Amino acid sequence: MCEYCGCQSLASIDELTREHDEVVRLISRLRSAQQSGDVARMAELAREIAAVLGPHTQVEEHGLFPAMAEDFPEQIAALEAEHRRIEVVLAEAADGTTPTDPAWPDRLMDAMAMLRDHILKEQDGVFPAALAGLSTEEWEYVEATRARAGSALPRPTV
Ligand SMILES: [Fe+2]
């Protein structure tokens, strides 16, 4: 990656965006599983969403957000609080478990509705602000965080 042309920042944001797209795709599958009353399938999809969000959230919270927290403290705190609320509901299906709480499917879908709004806030607010405002050093830090966190998605073939 070269340093000053912006490709570093675009690659980092592109990977976060592809993870958002994958999560949105999985949420729509979740909706069909709920319509057919298939809670075991919902739990499987919840695990797939959690697998994508694991490294994604690391990159946001340890790479991208620290660079933005000074300028946007309340927005970043609110996004992190939403991450925690989403993780709690997804974690109920961790380790191959199908939750037995009859309220879980609805709680999951509520959390996923929040997640979709959350993704829009990041796409329309945080990412453009980051592209406009972060320094080369900050993007290097984001990249280093990604290298540590890994990704659940296949690498792009470009
Ligand atoms: Fe995100």
Buried b (16+ CB within 10 A) or exposed e, 74-88: ebbeebeebbeebee
User: Cα torsion for 116, 122, 123, 126, to the nearest 10°?
Assistant: 170
pLDDT of residue 2: 52
For residues 14 and 151, give the distance between their C-alpha atoms in angstroms, rounded to a whole number: 13
**Where does the chain have alpha helices with state H?**
7-35, 39-58, 65-68, 73-91, 104-121, 127-133, 136-149
The total of other beta-carbon atoms located within 10 Å of residue 17's CB is 15
Using N-to-C axis directions, what is the helix angle for 7-35 and 136-149, rounded to 10°? 40
Q: Which fold has domain 9-149?
A: Four Helix Bundle (Hemerythrin (Met), subunit A) (1.20.120)
- CA-nearest of 157, 156, 137, 112 to 16 is 156
**Global confidence as pTM:** 0.92
47 alpha carbon – ligand 1 mean position (Å): 17
As averages over each run of 10 residues, the pLDDT of the chain (158 residues) reads 66 96 97 97 98 98 95 95 98 96 98 97 95 93 96 78
pLDDT of residue 155: 73
33 alpha carbon – ligand 1 mean position (Å): 24
61 alpha carbon – ligand 1 mean position (Å): 9
What's the number of CA atoms in the CB half-sphere (13 Å) around residue 116?
12
Burial class of residue 153 in the structure, from the number of CB atoms within 10 Å of its CB (0-12 exposed, 13-18 middle, 19+ buried): middle
The length of the chain, given as a count of residues: 158
pLDDT of residue 144: 95
106 alpha carbon – ligand 1 mean position (Å): 22
